[in-house]
Amino acid sequence: MAIVVNLDVMMAKRKMSLNELSEKVDLTLSNLSILKTGKAKAIRFSTLTALCKALDCQPGDLLEYVPETKENHIDT
């Protein structure tokens, strides 16, 4: 995967639990967990906006592009 989700990093910086974030952005724990673990295939702009508002950050703080190489390429 070339896009890495750094949701766990931002939550740690803001000292916010998954439960607290779930309540603030009105997403289920299971959907947030999918995002946090990097298993999400897509994210809505409205969800990204809510996360940025709740975590007081920019989209680039949550999403990072990592070029794929033969060493880190994993078939899914």
Q: Any idea what the CATH number is for the domain that residue 36 is in? A: 1.10.260.40
Within a domain: 14: yes
3-class SS of residue 65? strand
Within a domain: 39: yes
Could you identify the residue written with the tokens 């990093």?
A: 9
Within a domain: 52: yes
pLDDT in 10s for each residue of the chain, 76 residues: 589 999 999 999 999 999 999 999 999 999 999 999 989 999 999 999 999 999 999 999 999 999 887 555 555 4
Domain that holds residue 29: 3-61
Within a domain: 8: yes
Within a domain: 68: no
DSSP code of 45? H
**Within the chain, where are the H helices?**
7-13, 18-25, 29-36, 45-55, 59-62
Whole-structure pTM value: 0.84
Task: Count how many domains the chain has.
Answer: 1
Residue 45 token pair: 């702009």
Within a domain: 24: yes
Could you identify the residue written with the tokens 């998954």?
A: 18
**∠38-2-16 over CA atoms, to 5°?**
35
